Chain A
Amino acid sequence: MNAPTKIETTLKDWETDQEVRWCPGCGDYAILKAVQRTLPQLGCDPAKTVFISGIGCSSRFPYYMETYGFHTIHGRAPAFATGAKLANPELDIWLVTGDGDGLSIGGNHLMHVLRRNVNMQIMLFNNEIYGLTKGQASPTSREGTKSPSTPIGSYDHPARPAAFALGAGARFVGRGFDVSKNLPDVLKAAHAHKGAAFIEIFQNCIVYNKDVFDDFAAPKGAEGQQLWLEDGKPMLFAKDTKGIALNRQTLSLEVVDVVDGDWEAAGVVVHDVTNRSIAHMLVEMPFGAFPMALGVLYDDPRPTFEDAVIAERAKVSEGKEANLAKLLGKGQTWTVSGTAQDPV
């Protein structure tokens, strides 16, 4: 969402005096910096900005932001945020959750905050593991993940956060990864979107699930596996030598080679952030055969929950007086005499 008046701040203004307690090298540090770098650029007011989180390594985030912050309970941050937003719609809410927090214990709340479309930015730090509880498999862990609770390898099928969000009715779905220089742009787009904006951020847990995203997120040499989506631009990757086309026979996406930059000839799709059908295909695109779709996958606002609540209250209150004495004496009453009291 957009703050009404822009405030001048620097990155320093958004840092707290609290010692950051993530493991050295944890991807969470990079995300923290990206957020602290982005907020001054957006002109946000620290007093009106709030960070609300659940429980997990990722959910420690609010302690490090010099804003109002609420570190709540495991999985329920969307519900706290909904109450806070309805109580004060002026708050600029950032929600921080993890793959366990948001998709395991809190999957229900995440679904409902998205379908209700409460205006806030939701950052899901996906490290495909339970970090804080020391490395058990999470709902996004890939099949075969070995962990203390799955010593032979996990066998349940992983959830895909972006697909979940879109399926739940999200009107903004973005993706980035911890050390990506483009992450601030995704955050800015999410902030500009009025409504629940869902951002999946791949995050490296170097202790319990080290480098599992290296195939597309390694600091060097993985760019060829990144499809950065931009509205109105063709879906090109690998230095524009490859693109994504729509196979009209199978109604599915496919990777095509682009010769001499002639993407049109190769049938490469132009990204339209409001095209929900394409968005569904992008979030389902299997990595490996396809590059990782990053950036703004979908962005098509619709009315928010808090606006509907406010409008309803205004409508039903119109011409009504909030007179408690009258309310108490409502309905069929009778008077026991000896009193001058008239029915109110």
Chain B
Amino acid sequence: MATAATEGPHGLHESPEAIVVRFAGDSGDGMQLTGGQFTLSTALAGNDLATFPDFPAEIRAPQGTLFGVSAFQINFGSREINTAGDAPDVLVAMNPAALKVNLAALKPGGLIIADTGAFTKRNLDKAHYEANPLEDGSLAKFDVLAFDISEKTIEAVKPYGLGNKDALRSKNMWTLGLALWMFDRPRNPIHDWLKAKFKSKPDIADANIAALDAGHAYGETAELAGPLKQVHVDPVPSEPGLYRTVTGAEAVSLGLVAGAQLAELPMFFGGYPITPASAILHHLARLKEFGVTTFQAEDEIAAVCAAIGASWAGQLGVTSSSGPGIALKTEAIGLGIMTELPLVIVNSQRGGPSTGLPTKTEQSDLYQAVYGRNGDAPMPVIAARSPSDAFEVAIEACRIAVEYMTPVMLLTDGYIANAAEPWKVPDPDTFEPFPATFLDQPNDGENFLPYKRDEKGARPWVKPGTPGLMHRIGGIEKHELTGNIDYSPDNHQRMTDARKDKVEGVVVPDQEVCLGEPSGRLAVVGWGSTFGPIHRAVDNCRRKGLDVSHIHVRHIWPMPKNMGELLRGYEHILVPEMNTGQFKTVLRDQFLVDAQPLTKTSGQPFQIAELEEEIGKYFDGIEDNEGGEVAVNEEQLPNLEAGHDDGTYPDAPFHGDSAVPSGRDTDSEGVNQ
């Protein structure tokens, strides 16, 4: 039954700084739930964390198949965590397919926990295994802990009278219980959650709790020689305050609600279901008491048009989608630009052109956001770098939309939308309000001029229904003051300039260097969800003494005023992106700098190691710096006070014997393949 195959001198450290666990199983095995609940208990234990849910595009792929594998990775630690981890230390494989798909990512010497009950001939065939990998020695370079989780689950829930099929559905809870024991996490939050979830079916709740407790007890009591040890990860020293976990989709939704409140406007949200954007519609649909109207339209075009209609009528119009839906909205966004109405468009980017990779992540809609409209149609573009950052970015998008009377594009991506991280709950009173103003009397002596601009270049907002200010707007070029149709050449020139000047004049904060010096040999410039891996990679390289800095751009369009000067202060500029080099083009276009691309479009986030390797190339050929291996320059280390790093040089957390040089923590960070 319990065959703990312990080959090699591996094994987990007892109190590592950070650890990466991947739960993988069939899409029917409930791995996302397991991961989500493990995340919650980890957050409650006070660790910093980052997660990476990786699920198939199919709703219910045939059981046991390779393409039906669903995985959830979490990286948690007692220090700041930037990414979901390059490679897992622990892989939980609920069936052969899950093992096959995820094994390549596992760290050498990592621990595999496998359910032998699911390693049947049939399942092995479906995963295209000729022999049982748990038995044929092919996993020799890993620690393997294989036992019959299925059978143990059935045993645990027996008193609740469930049939085998139903009983097996609690397998994930049994596994979660074991994981909770392994990492010394509290069980009560999960108990509470199960009771709440199955309020109307207390039997099912009890059965799941029994499975969870049984998994936990197994860890506690099993006399296991070998890899199953309890591992304790200390809480991260973080700023005092109230914390919760938040996904990007939640943070965007909350930020939009906060933004509308700061603008003192009701919010109208038009959406049409699409992965991974739907979650925002779902969240907002439950927040109607905040003056939110959600409208599930007949398509993305109607969703944006309805939002613009609502903005015209005096609310804050918001719409959200992913690449294909944003493409459909394009014509209407042009109308929003032409009629100069506030509008926030959220693009949760996914992979590839057309349907592409719906459940995978990419940053390939940047051209679409910045350049992708007919006519000269300038629009501010702003990007979130992490789930929690999305809150502030959403507020900022609302601010720009309302203050400048313009559509604003907010970019997130599938990774940000789905991933969770701890979030220090912000105090809404700390945000500066930006109340919208509506014109209700003539603005030019006796006359009303719908397109007379203020000092920011914004035209007045007039609610239909306001007596005496009746006027017409539309997509046809209009007179620069009256707004009446006007095709005359000079007028169109001036209106084109006015729209451009207004957007270019949007005031955005100066660009900061988030790690390193404001000039030097190399700047790694990123935007969006590459923040985590870039930050960690740059940090690691700086610890090796490399003169490299990290700049992460929130305001993509217009860019901060100091951006050109800042970039020109570096000898080299490297732009890692999950596309074929789109932001690199924008930087070259705007500043004539020699920005070099590092691109990746595998649907998976960057790994820290691959970024470090690329950074290292900029230091080859420099005296004493071949391969980037120079002595640590203490002065270049991050400022311990201001920075968010604990400044220590941890051992490779889980296997002192690994191939990764100590003094670096790359191996526990970054993202899976």
Q: Which residues of A contact B (CB under 8 A)?
A: 16, 18, 46-48, 50, 52, 55, 62-63, 65-73, 76, 78-88, 90-91, 108-109, 111-112, 309, 312-313, 316-317, 320-322, 324-325, 327-339, 341, 343-344
A331-B472 contact in complex given A87-B313, A112-B302, A317-B289, C-beta closer than 8 Å: no
* 10 pairs, CB–CB < 8 Å, chain A vs chain B: A63-B484, A82-B297, A82-B309, A108-B298, A108-B302, A329-B244, A330-B244, A332-B40, A332-B244, A337-B240
Contact of B306 among A16, A86, A333 (CB under 8 A): A86
Interface hit among B153-161, B219-227, B462-470, B591-599:
B462-470
Q: Are A322 and B189 in contact (CB under 8 A)?
A: no
Chain A residue with minimal CB distance to B339? A70
| Residues from chain A with Cβ under 8 Å of B313 in the complex | 83-85, 87-88, 91
Q: Are B305 and A327 in contact (CB under 8 A)?
A: no
Closest chain A CB from B179 CB (angstroms): 18
Interface centre among A79, A85, A88, A111 (most CB of B within 10 A): A79
The digit string for B215-247, where 1 denotes a CB below 8 A from any CB of A, is 000000000000000000001001111111100
Q: Are B301 and A76 in contact (CB under 8 A)?
A: yes
Q: Are A336 and B261 in contact (CB under 8 A)?
A: no
Q: Are A63 and B470 in contact (CB under 8 A)?
A: no
Q: Are B244 and A322 in contact (CB under 8 A)?
A: no
Chain B residue with minimal CB distance to A69? B472
In the complex, which range does the number of interface residues on chain B fall in? 35 or more
A83-B308 contact in complex given A47-B467, A88-B464, A335-B242, C-beta closer than 8 Å: yes
Q: Are A76 and B428 in contact (CB under 8 A)?
A: no
Interface residue? B426 (CB, 8 A): yes
Q: Is the interface of A mostly helix, strand, loop or mixed?
A: mixed
| Residues from chain B with Cβ under 8 Å of A90 in the complex | 465
Interface centre among B43, B235, B254, B306 (most CB of A within 10 A): B306
Inter-chain CA distance A101–B474, complex, in Å, is 16
Interface centre among B289, B291, B311, B314 (most CB of A within 10 A): B289
Interface residue? B287 (CB, 8 A): yes
- 15 additional A-B pairs beyond A80-B306, A109-B298, beta carbons within 8 Å, are A66-B470, A67-B470, A73-B335, A78-B302, A81-B309, A83-B305, A86-B306, A88-B463, A91-B464, A316-B288, A325-B428, A332-B189, A333-B425, A336-B235, A336-B239
| Residues from chain A with Cβ under 8 Å of B289 in the complex | 313, 316-317, 320-322
B residues 458-516 near A (Cβ < 8 Å) are 463-476, 484-485
A47-B466 contact in complex given A79-B306, A312-B288, A336-B240, C-beta closer than 8 Å: yes
Q: Are A72 and B335 in contact (CB under 8 A)?
A: yes
Q: Are B472 and A83 in contact (CB under 8 A)?
A: no
The digit string for B368-379, where 1 denotes a CB below 8 A from any CB of A, is 000000000000
| Residues from chain B with Cβ under 8 Å of A88 in the complex | 313-314, 463-465
Q: Are A313 and B254 in contact (CB under 8 A)?
A: no
Contact of B465 among A47, A339, A341 (CB under 8 A): A47
Inter-chain CA distance A48–B293, complex, in Å, is 21
A71-B299 contact in complex given A82-B309, A313-B288, C-beta closer than 8 Å: no
Inter-chain CA distance A239–B240, complex, in Å, is 88
Q: Are A344 and B242 in contact (CB under 8 A)?
A: yes
| Residues from chain A with Cβ under 8 Å of B310 in the complex | 83-84, 86-87
